[in-house]
């Protein structure tokens, strides 16, 4: 059963989406071909980056993960000190949003939009599902390769055994939750809905910390993977739906005044 707060977040996003005009051209949902193309596009995009792009991406990601790594030990100590009994029920409910709940939401939105003849809702479900596929194609291999021990295994926050069976880094629940949040934010196009979506995803991360299933850096890494994967998939699907044959490429950019993505369109 979903937590009432989770339901409120989803209803906020759904109401905001309903106010948006439906796309004039609906994307044909040819699942296997589109899934393969999404994966190829996501994994090949960095090949077009310059050395400067790699440095900027690497420095930004390293800074975020580095700061979170420094918080791993004190945050886990704080969790162990607090009375966890009173927090366990809500943490277990929030776990659902980062697990099968996200898949149910994506599938439910697609089927519901199909039955109710609501193209916008149907597209939301499809985009969420494909974004999760791309995000997990990154998270799952890294989990296996990193082999980080979970907090409740009491091996310490910096114990890694590549291919050793432990799979703490990054957090799959955080990946799923932030993937969904990024898609909701894009479709809602409303700051309050975006804040609610990302706030809900952050609560999923906190729930994983409370259960000592993950460290702070696991959650931060999962959030990065989920958010960036969703944005890449949404950008590609928007171009496909336009029917214009537009080819989209993107690369990170950083100047003295701003940081963001440089998007190139070829007609």
Q: What is the DSSP letter of 85?
A: G
The answer regarding whether domain 4-16+28-266 maps to CATH 1.20.144 reads yes
**pLDDT value, residue 69:** 93
- Percent of the chain clearing pLDDT 90 (strictly above): 46
Question: Which SS3 state, helix, strand or coil, does residue 249 take?
Answer: strand
**pLDDT value, residue 7:** 39
Q: How confident is the model at residue 74 (pLDDT cuts 50, 70, 90)?
A: very high
- pTM assigned to the model: 0.79
**pLDDT value, residue 6:** 42
**pLDDT value, residue 52:** 76
Q: What ranges do the domains of the chain cover?
A: 4-16+28-266
Closest CA to 185 of 169, 206, 171, 202: 202
d(C-alpha 12, C-alpha 148), whole Å? 36
């Amino acid at each position: 059963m979903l937590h009432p707060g989770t339901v409120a977040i989803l209803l906020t996003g759904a109401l905001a989406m309903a106010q948006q005009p439906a796309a004039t051209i609906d994307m044909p949902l040819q699942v296997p071909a589109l899934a393969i193309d999404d994966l190829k596009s996501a994994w090949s995009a960095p090949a077009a980056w310059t050395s400067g792009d790699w440095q900027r991406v690497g420095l930004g990601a390293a800074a975020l993960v580095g700061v979170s790594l420094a918080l791993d030990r004190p945050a886990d100590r704080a969790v162990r000190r607090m009375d966890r009994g009173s927090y366990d029920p809500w943490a277990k409910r929030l776990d659902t949003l980062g697990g099968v709940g996200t898949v149910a939401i994506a599938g439910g939105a697609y089927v519901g939009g199909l039955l109710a003849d609501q193209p916008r809702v149907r597209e939301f479900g499809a985009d969420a599902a494909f974004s999760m596929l791309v995000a997990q194609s990154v998270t799952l291999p890294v989990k296996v390769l990193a082999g980080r021990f979970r907090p409740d295994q009491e091996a310490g926050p910096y114990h890694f055994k590549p291919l050793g069976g432990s799979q703490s880094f990054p957090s799959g629940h955080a990946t799923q939750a932030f993937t969904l949040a990024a898609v909701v934010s894009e479709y809602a196009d409303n700051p309050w809905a975006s804040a609610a979506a990302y706030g809900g995803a952050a609560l999923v991360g906190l729930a994983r910390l409370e259960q000592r299933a993950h460290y702070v850096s696991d959650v931060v890494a999962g959030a990065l993977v989920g958010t960036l994967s969703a944005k890449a998939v949404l950008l590609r699907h928007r171009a496909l739906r336009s029917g214009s044959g537009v080819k989209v490429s993107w690369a990170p950019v950083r100047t003295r005044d701003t940081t963001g993505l440089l998007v190139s369109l070829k007609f």
